[in-house]
Amino acid sequence: MVKTLVALTVWLCFALPAAAAQDQAGAKKPPVRPAWSELTPPQQKILAPLAAEWDRMDATQRKKWVGIAERYPKVKPAEQQRLQKNMEAWAKLTPEQRKAARAKYQTLQKLPPDKRREVTAQWQHYQKSLVARPEFSPSDPPAPPEPQTAEAPAAAPVKPSGGTATAGAAVPAGQ
């Protein structure tokens, strides 16, 4: 009798958590909120570039964008235009590109303030150089350069067009 009771207790200890986990896995998750239809018309207008992506966003991302939409009317028109342009660019990125952008941002945030200012200055210089080059559109520049860290290897020397490498040949920055 005692053996039967112990066996039943052990079985219940294993069976009940498994059954509870199965119920949780089978249960439908509540919809992520706010749904697009729950946004106000002004919020929908501001967040329009993200409409196609909205259903695939998690609650944290949606809340972030709703917060941006709430602050949007309070910012200057130039900032509003920049925000709209950045939203459109973000919406066009693939999930892999977004992940890479987030990783670059986190890497930049971990840099010391002086190094971060240096990278920002390099990026601004690069942006200005695009304006001077008509083959590039300054309105759609490529991703910012990777921040250089102590672990980053030096750039490999580039062969001149003559076909042989010469010692001391310099490569202009930004090319």
Map out the domains of the chain as residue ranges: 31-92, 97-139
At 14 the pLDDT is: 55
**What's residue 96's pLDDT?**
92
Q: In this predicted structure, what is the pLDDT of residue 163?
A: 43
**Predicted pLDDT at 44:** 95
Residues 21-54, buried b or exposed e (16+ Cβ, 10 A)? eeeeeeeeeeeeebeeeebeeebbebbebbeebb
pTM of the complete model beyond 0.75: no
Q: pLDDT under 50 in the chain at which residues? A: 5, 8, 152-175
pLDDT of residue 129: 85
pLDDT value at residue 73 = 94
Q: Which long-range contacts (CB under 8 A, 24 or more apart) does 168-174 make?
A: 174/125, 174/126, 174/129
Rounded to 5, what percent of the chain is helix, strand, coil? 60, 0, 40
